[in-house]
Amino acid sequence: MKEIKTIIIDDEPHSRDELHHLLSEHIDINVVAMCEEAQSGLLAIMDKEPDLVFLDIDMPKTNGLELASSLSKLKKKPKVVFATAHEHYAAKAFRVQAFDYLLKPFDEDELSGTLKRYREQCLSSTKDEERTSKMLTRLAIDENDKINYIDPQSILYMAREERETVIRTKDKEYRVRTALKELKQKLAGYPFVQTHKSYIINIAEIDGLIPWFNGAYQVKLKGIKDEVPASRTYVKALREKLEL
């Protein structure tokens, strides 16, 4: 289980101790600092680079909202959970992108729920990073016994024509023997979507959709005159990707 480095910042000693006790019940939480005001809290955050900060709002001099706002400038930004006795601060808290908002006196179940959501988000982020690290930085293609390398992001679409696959970029067209399905697998992680049994397009390069017939569309792509078909079978998935 990955250790979650945590800092508590609260000007009330009783609240700091209570929260520290509740957090100590979770074996993956490591409270690396407890601070009683925002300035020392900021220095601790910069020094310890925690994953999670439990932050009171109503503190003297600099309040928790001001401190949270200043954290956006850090290279490594911790997730902030506001821990306060005042319910009316909730809207302002989420404007500074608070991860969560807990009211005093602390409820064990609510705190456990916050930590569970944090763990789930971390696991999801880790999987996204792993996927990104496995993505091809360039696609090697064999064209007429010559190996060419293409930046996957430069590809506008790929189309199957009889026994060949056409790979179209803004500048060039390549013809390869590799099956469309195999290319799609190699390019997993990039924003490619199938629009027809014989076409896969880069949705980041879509310039417009033109209604066709029977619920089908023609897709306009940036920088070229070609229009790619989007058959009725694939239109729903395409529109979902484009959030239309």
pLDDT digit string, tens, across residues 88-123: 666 666 566 778 888 888 999 999 999 998 988 876
- Classify strands 199-202 and 29-35 as parallel, antiparallel or unpaired: unpaired
Rounded distance, CA 5 to CA 159, Å? 49
Arithmetic mean of pLDDT, 63-80: 87
Contact yes or no for 127/135 (Cβ under 8 A): no
Task: Answer yes or no: are the C-beta atoms of 8 and 35 closer than 8 Å.
Answer: yes
Q: Sheet with 227-230: list strands edge to edge.
A: 206-211, 217-221, 227-230
Tell how far CA 55 is from the center of its chain.
Answer: 24
Per-residue model confidence (pLDDT) at position 237:
83
- Separation of alpha carbons 174 and 155, rounded Å: 10
Structure tokens at 39: 């300035």
Residue 128 has pLDDT above 60, yes or no: no
pTM of the model as a whole: 0.53
Using omega within 30 degrees of 0 as the cis cutoff, is the peptide bond preceding 229 cis?
no
Burial (CB count within 10 angstroms: exposed 0-12, middle 13-18, buried 19+), residue 20? middle
Q: Where are any strands of DSSP class E within the chain?
A: 4-9, 29-35, 52-55, 79-84, 100-103, 139-143, 146-150, 155-161, 164-169, 173-176, 192-196, 199-202, 206-211, 217-221, 227-230
Q: What is the mean pLDDT of residues 24-51?
A: 94
| Cβ atoms within 10 Å of 167's Cβ, excluding its own | 25
| pLDDT tens for each residue of 180-218 | 988 988 888 888 999 999 999 999 999 888 888 888 899
